[in-house]
Structures are given as structure tokens and as C-alpha cells.
Amino acid sequence: MIFTKAYIISLLSIILIGNSCGPTKQDPNPDYIRIGNGGGFAGIETVYTINLKGSVDQGGAKIGSLKKADINQLTRNIDVLQLDQLDWNQPGNMYKFIEYKLGTKMHRMSWDSNSPDVNNNLNLFYNHALHLIQKLNS
């Protein structure tokens, strides 16, 4: 009888410990800001993804993390510059793009990098985000 109780308690302990060591659940659709450029003869595209928890990836490989203040600034800039109201899809041979997913909103804008007719807010946001990313490597 004592053996059976000890056996059951041991078995329950192993099950509980095993369940507590399981993988953590991750959001399958995390919010992000993505910028990039590409095109030209080779058609190569460079993509940077900023996860709103801070991590920055280039082509799927983590290259660093941004501070929470920088992430907050980028998300505020989307609102202040009214990027969600821009419907800009005019890529050229060489192009830049901004794409983001915030909550249920997903929006993408692309433009010809050499076009003088681009909305200034696109280049302003793109250049600021790229500057923050480039600071990770310096």
C-alpha cells in the first residue's frame, strides 16, 4: 500500500514537472514593422523586420534589439505621419518599401527609390527606421 502511494505521487510529480518545462507559447502573428529595398539587375531584396518586442532580423537572422523607446517612437511615427492613410504602391526598377502589422491592421507601401514624386513621409519614416537599425551594427 505504501509502495502504491509512493509510486502514484512520484508519477504525478514527474507529469507536473514535465508539463511545466514545456515550450513557451509565442504569438503566431506578432506585430512588426518591416522595411527594405531591392530590385535592379540582380533583383536582390534586403529586408529588415522589427518585432515590436524589440528584436531586429535581417533576412530571418537576428541582428540585434532596439530599445523600447525606439519601438514606441516608430509606432507613434506611423500615426503622426499618417502612413495608414497612404495608398502608395509605385515601385520602380529600384524600390523601397515599408510594411507593418499592428493589431489587426496590415499595410504595405512601396516606391521607386529614384522618384522625386514620393510622399516625403515615406522617406522620412524609412530613413529613421534604417538609421536605428544601422546603429545596431556600430
The number of C-alpha atoms within 13 Å of 86 and in the hemisphere containing its C-beta is 24
pLDDT tops 60 at residue 134: yes
Domains identified in the chain and CATH numbers? 26-135 (3.30.1560.10)
Q: What is the pLDDT of residues 70-104, one digit of tens each?
A: 999 999 999 999 999 888 887 878 999 999 999 99
Residue position matching grid coordinates 534586403: 46
75 neighbors 105 (Cβ within 8 angstroms) = no
- Residue 105: which residues within 8 A CB-CB, separation 6 or more? 84
For the chain, percent of residues with pLDDT exceeding 70: 78
pLDDT average, residue stretch 37-50: 89
Q: Which of 128, 98, 94, 93 is nearest to 110 (CA)?
A: 98
**Confidence (pTM):** 0.77
